[in-house]
């Protein structure tokens, strides 16, 4: 089994939306036995902690390239394009 990948999910406050998306992603990854740790974070602190994660799930655009594989978090909120984004996320994990 590969190393555990750290996934950060960031929204404006790091509370409601990112928690919802982080929980959904964690559940989906668990269903597929993917070795991940999913954490909701505050976008304001993201820049200082981005080097601690392997994959970033964006809910609001930070407006910059963070140098990490980035997944569209809105898809997990709306369900639109979610499978496609989850496939992308899995490709980064495996």
Q: Is 15 helix (H, G, I), strand (E, B) or coil?
A: coil
Q: What pLDDT score does 44 carry? A: 86
Q: Between 16-31 and 82-93, two packed helices, what is the crossing angle to 10 degrees?
A: 70
Return per-residue pLDDT of the chain as tens, 94 residues.
Answer: 458 999 999 987 767 899 999 999 999 999 999 999 999 998 888 889 999 999 999 997 767 788 999 999 999 999 999 999 999 999 999 9
Residue 3 CA to residue 18 CA, distance in Å, equals: 24
- Domain limits, the chain: 5-93
User: What are the residues facing 11 on neighbouring strands?
Assistant: 42
Residue 23 CA to residue 1 CA, distance in Å, equals: 22
CATH architecture of the domain formed by 5-93: 3-Layer(aba) Sandwich (3.40)
């Amino acid at each position: 089994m590969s190393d555990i990948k750290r996934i950060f999910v960031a929204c404006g406050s790091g509370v409601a939306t990112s928690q919802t998306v982080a929980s959904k992603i964690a559940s989906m990854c668990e269903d597929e036995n993917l070795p991940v740790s999913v954490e909701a974070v505050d976008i304001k602190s993201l820049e200082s902690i981005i080097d601690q994660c392997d994959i970033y799930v964006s809910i609001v655009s930070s407006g910059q390239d963070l140098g990490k594989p980035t997944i569209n978090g809105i898809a997990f909120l709306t369900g639109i394009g979610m499978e496609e984004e989850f496939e992308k996320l899995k490709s980064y994990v495996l």
